[in-house]
Amino acid sequence: CEACLNMCMSGSATSCEECLLIHPSCAWCAQEDFGRGRGLTSRCDFIQNLQRRGCGAQFIEYPTSSISVLKNMPLSSTGSGLAQFDVVQIMPQKISLSLRPGEQTSFGLQVRQVEDYPVDLYYLMDLSLSMKDDLDTIRNLGTKLAHEMGKLTSNFRLGFGSFVDKNMSPFSYTAPKYQENPCSGYKLFPNCVPTFGFRHILPLTDKVDRFNEEVQKQMVSRNRDAPEGGFDAILQAAVCKTEIGWRKEAYHLLVFATDDVPHLALDGRLGGLVEPHDGQCHLNDRNEYSASTEMDYPSLALLGEKLAENNIFLIFAVTKRLYVIYKNFTALIPGTTVEILDQDSKNVIQLIIAAYNNIRSKVELSVWDHPEDISLSFTATCQDGKPLPGLRKCADLKIGDTVSFNVTVEARGCPPRGTDQSFTIKPVGFKDRLEVAVDYQCDCGCSQTAQTNSSICSSIGTYKCGTCHCEPGYLGARCECQEGEASSMYQSACREAEGKQICSGRGECSCNQCRCFESDFGKIYGSFCECDDFSCPRHKGILCSGHGECHCGECKCHAGYVGDNCNCSTETSSCISDDGKMCSGRGNCVCGRCQCTEPGAFGDTCEKCPTCPDACGTKRECIECRLFDSGRLADNQTCQRLCKDEIITVENLKTDDPGAVLCLYKTDNDCVMKFTYSEHASGQSILTALKEPECGGGPEAMTVLLAVVGSILLVGVVLLAVWKLVITIHDRREFARFQSARSRARYEMASNPLYKQPVSTHFVETDFNMYGKSYNGGWTVD
C-alpha cells in the first residue's frame, strides 16, 4: 500500500545512485512531472509502485546483474599425449560479471580430474640422527615407487631433498669440535655429516636410478633440540621452482618425512633471528638454503600461501605419536594430508600411493584475490547429484568423474569509480582456474544528461534524473527555499503522523523537508528522520555481527549469513565429517557448527560417540581394513582417509576401563574379534584390539561320534534304571497291600465258632523191646 513504509521509500535516497544502493528491488523514476499533485512522493520505490503512480517505463532506472562467458573450452578426458599442455580440468575458464550491489547472481562451473595426468613427486626427508634406520629403508625407494606410480600415470618424475635444522645455537651443536662431526663423542653413532638447514639433492627426473644413487650417498646428521627445521625446507622446495624442476602441466606432490615436530615462526628469536621469512628462494650454488641462519622459520600462513601459489600438495608422512599435531596443521594449510609412517619407513610406498589416491579422490575450490566488498557462497553437486549448500568440496571421487559447483555472488557496495575488480576460483592443487572479472552497476543512465543551472531548478541547481540538486543554502524540490525559512505549513509536512514529533525528534523542519541531525553513532535518515544505521541488533558488541548492513533498525545480512543479527553462517563445509555425512549423521548444522542430537555424541562434526548404537559398527570397518585388509573399506582408497584413529594391538584385551566401550563381532571364519573404543583427553579416538580374533579349535569327527553314541547309551541306561526303580516301588507297594489283606483273612477264620479244623491229633503209647533194649514212647497220628 502507498501509506506503508518500505525499504526504498523509507531510505535516505536523494539521488538515483543512492536509491540503487538501498536494495536491489528499488528503482528510480527520472520522469520530470512524477508525483505532481500528490504532495511528497518518493522517486525511489519498487518498480511496480512507480508504474502504478504514473512513471513511464522509459524513465525508470532499474539495472540488474548479468553474466558473460568469455572463455569456455570443453573438459579434457586424459592428461597424456602430445596435447597435454592443452589439458582442461575446469569449465568455463573466464567470465565477466556485471553486479548491482545487494543483488545475488549465480553461475556454475564444472571440474574433472583427467586420467593419466603427469605427476612430479619430491621426497623431502629428515636426515637427523633419529632417522638413520629410515634412510637405510629408502635406499631403493626410487625403483619400487616408480613401478607402483606407473600403474597410475605414464608420466612420473621423482626428486629428492633433505633437511636437519639451522646450524646455530640453540638449535644445533656449535662448539668447534662439532662443526665437522656433530656426532663426535656419541657412542651409538660416532660419525655423521655437519648440520645443515635444507639441501636440494636431486631435481625432478624420470631416471629413477639416479634417485637410488643419490639416496645411497646420503648420511645422517645431528641437531641439539627435538624439533626440526622442516618448514624451512618445505618453503624452499615450494618456491624454488626452477631448481626443483616443477612442471606446469603436472600434479605436484611434496612428501615430507619426519619423526618429530617442526620449528614454527618466532622460534628463530631464540637464536636471535628477528627478520621474518620473506617467502623467496635462497638456494646457493651448492643447492643449500643460504638464509638458514639469517631469517626466522616461516609461518603456517606463509607456508600455505606459497604451497597454494605453486599448486603443491603437501603430504605429511609422520610417526604415529605425531599424527594429531600434523593433523591440526592440515586444517590450516589447504591441500595438505597426513599419513602415519612406520618407525623405519617400511610403509612409505603404500603411504604415498594412499595419499595420492586420497588427493585424486577429492576436489576442493579455493578463491584467490577475493575482493572485500563481494560475498561468495558455494553449492556443491557431487556424484550423488544432490546439491549441498555451503559446501565447496566433493570427496570419494574416481578419476574421470565430473563434479559441479554453483557460485552465488553478491556485491555489498560500490568501489571508487574507475576501480577494476577481479578474483580467481581454482581447485586446490590444480593449475586450471576460472578467472572472474567484475564491474558494478552503480551509475544511472539518466545521470549522463544532467543539466547544470537548469531553469527547472530556479537556475540555482543541477537537474539530474528528475530532481534538483541545489546549490549550498537552498532547499526545496525546485530550489525555491532558502535555509532557515520556517512556517506552520511547512512543519505539518514534517510529521510522520498527527501527534508525532516533528522529524521524529531527530531533525529540524526546513522548507517542507526534514533535515536530520548528525550523530556520533552513525547516520540518521528518512523522510521523517525515522531511520538510522546504528539501532540494529549486535553480536559480541559488533553491529549485525559484521556480516550485514543496518537499515532502519533491521540487519540486512550479506550472502551466506542469516539471523536477526546476521551471526548465523549458512556455510556447511565445517559440518561435513570425514565420511562425507553432515555432522556424521548424528546432529544438525546450525550456523556453521554441528549441534549433536544423538546422546553421547561430541566433536566438531559429532564424529565421536562411544555410546552410540553404531559406534562399534563404524569402528569395526576401520579395524578390518587397517589390521586385516578386509571389509568394505578395503576395496577402495578411503581406509587411510576415514580411519585415522590410533589402533593399539594387544595379546590380552582388558575390559575394566570405565571410559571404554567393548565391541565384539563375528568374522567370516566364525571367529570372534574383540576391541575397545575410547576417547583420549587429547581428542583422539583410541582403538585397542586383539592381534588376532579368538577362534575355538574344531573337534575331530571320531570324538564327536563317540560322544554322541556315549550320550545315547548313557541316556538309555538312565532311563532303564528309572524304569526299574519305578517298577520295584510299585511291586513292593502291591506286595505290602497283599500281605495286609492276608493277615486280615486269617484273623477272621480263627474267630469263627462254626469252623472246625479238618485235622485231629491222637497220642498212642507203646512199649517194646528191640535189639535187647526196651523203648517206651508214643506217636501222633493225624
- Confidence label for 776 from pLDDT (cuts 50, 70 and 90): low
- For 331, 366, 392, the CA distances from 76, given in Å and listed in that order, are 31, 21, 22
Measured distance CA(731)–CA(509) in Å, rounded: 130
Report whether 256 contacts 230 (CB < 8 A). Answer: yes
Q: pLDDT tens digits, residue range 675-728?
A: 888 776 666 677 888 878 877 655 566 777 888 888 899 998 999 899 888 898
pLDDT surpassing 70 at residue 36: no
pLDDT tier at 781, thresholds 50, 70, 90:
low
Helix (H/G/I), strand (E/B), else coil: 219:
coil
Higher-pLDDT residue of 528 and 30 is 30
pLDDT at 562 over 80: yes
The yes-or-no verdict on residue 580 having pLDDT over 90 is: no
Lowest-pLDDT choice from 256-265, 347-356, 614-623: 614-623
SS3 548: strand
* Max mean pLDDT range (21-30, 181-190, 263-272): 263-272
- In sequence order, the 6+-apart residues with CB closer than 8 A to the CB of 427 are 89, 90, 111, 363, 364, 365, 366
Can you tell me the mean pLDDT for 543-564?
86
Residue 407 pLDDT > 60, yes or no?
yes
Could you please report the per-residue DSSP string of 646-696?
EEEEESS-----TT-EEEEEE-TTS-EEEEEEEE-TTS-EEEEEESS-B-P
Residue with cell 615450494: 238
Least confident of 240-244, 245-249, 250-254, 704-708: 704-708
Q: Sign of dihedral through CA atoms 717, 722, 727, 732? A: positive
Q: Output the pLDDT for position 278.
A: 94
Report the pLDDT value the prediction gives residue 3, as an integer from 0 to 100.
40
- Between residues 407 and 643, the one the model is more confident about: 407
pLDDT digits (tens, 9 = 90+) for 368-386: 998 888 999 999 999 888 8
Confidence of residue 609 (pLDDT cuts 50, 70, 90): confident
- Report residue 32's pLDDT band, with 50, 70 and 90 as the boundaries: confident
Q: Are 378 and 391 in contact, with CB atoms under 8 Å apart? A: yes
First vs last C-alpha separation in the chain: 151
Report percent pLDDT > 90 for the chain. 27
User: Over 90: is that where the pLDDT of 277 sits?
Assistant: yes
Instruction: Give the pLDDT mean for 213-239.
Output: 91
Taking CB atoms within 8 Å and a gap of at least 24, the contacts of 569-574 are: 569/390, 570/377, 570/389, 570/390, 571/377, 571/390, 572/388, 572/389, 572/390, 572/391, 573/390, 573/391, 573/392, 573/393, 574/604, 574/605
pTM over 0.75: no
pLDDT in the model for residue 570: 85
pLDDT tens per residue, range 317-352? 998 889 989 999 998 888 898 988 887 778 888 889
The per-residue pLDDT for 34 is 83
Each residue's pLDDT tens digit, 725-771: 889 888 888 888 888 887 776 655 555 555 566 666 665 555 555 54
Percent of the chain with pLDDT over 70: 88
Which letter does DSSP use for residue 298 in this model?
P
Whether 489 shows a pLDDT value over 80: the answer reads no
Q: What is the CA radius of gyration of the chain?
A: 47
Give me the domains of the chain, ranges plus CATH numbers: 1-63 (3.30.1680.10), 66-115+364-440 (2.60.40.1510), 119-361 (3.40.50.410), 484-532 (2.10.25.10), 538-569 (2.10.25.10), 613-690 (4.10.1240.30)
Return d(Cα 337, Cα 330) in angstroms, integer. Answer: 6
Higher pLDDT, 483 or 218: 218
- With 90 as the cut, is the pLDDT of residue 276 above it? yes
Residue 233: pLDDT band (50, 70, 90) is very high
* Per-residue confidence (pLDDT) for residue 408, from 0 to 100: 94
Q: What is the mean pLDDT of the chain?
A: 83
**What's the pLDDT score for residue 491?**
63
| Residue 579: per-residue pLDDT | 72
Question: Average pLDDT of 168-186?
Answer: 87
Looking at 170-184, 271-285, 419-433, 644-658, which range is the least confident one?
644-658
